[in-house]
Amino acid sequence: MRSLLQLIQRVGKTVLLAAALTLPATALACDPAPGRKVIDALLSLDLNNAEAQLSQWRSQDASDPMLGFYEALKTLSVGYIESGHDQSFRESLWGDALKQLKKVVRKTGSAVESGSATPRQRLAYGMAQSFSSVLHTLRKEMIRSYKAG
């Protein structure tokens, strides 16, 4: 029984080493996606870092369809973090976020409807529509919520 365990450990180490050596260099760098960096900053309630991450993302790839979604998410976070109990301030930011989400839907919608969208475009389109629907529901705009997604 002991020799079987030792064999499994040796084989396991060999497989692990082989897997590590076959990973591309980019995977070994472990650089998280820009969206993840934004989410991490927002979860830490660090709005300045979130904005810095968004600015860096904009400078690297302003055409990324997911960028607008994360910008809307940051706008909503500002509303919840900085508004305190000021509902009117929060609701004004909901409107700003809806405008940002509408841009995402416009940018990706034609490609989705024509069937030529990339998976990332389809994801951005669906997330923007779903999130818009939630915001309309929060604003008690049920018909708009239904139409949004």
Say what the pTM is.
0.71
pLDDT of 11 higher than 90? no
At how many degrees (to 10) do helices 119-138 and 87-114 cross? Answer: 150
Token pair for residue 145? 């919520």
Q: Which residue has the tokens 């004004």?
A: 92
Instruction: Give 98-110 pLDDT, tens digit per residue.
Output: 899 899 999 988 8
Residue 96 CB neighbours (<10 A): 15
Residue type for 41, please? A
Instruction: Give 110-149 pLDDT, tens digit per residue.
Output: 888 898 888 888 888 888 888 888 888 888 888 887 777 6
Q: Would you state the pLDDT for residue 32?
A: 66
Q: How far is CA 110 from CA 58, 98, 116, in A?
A: 22, 19, 9
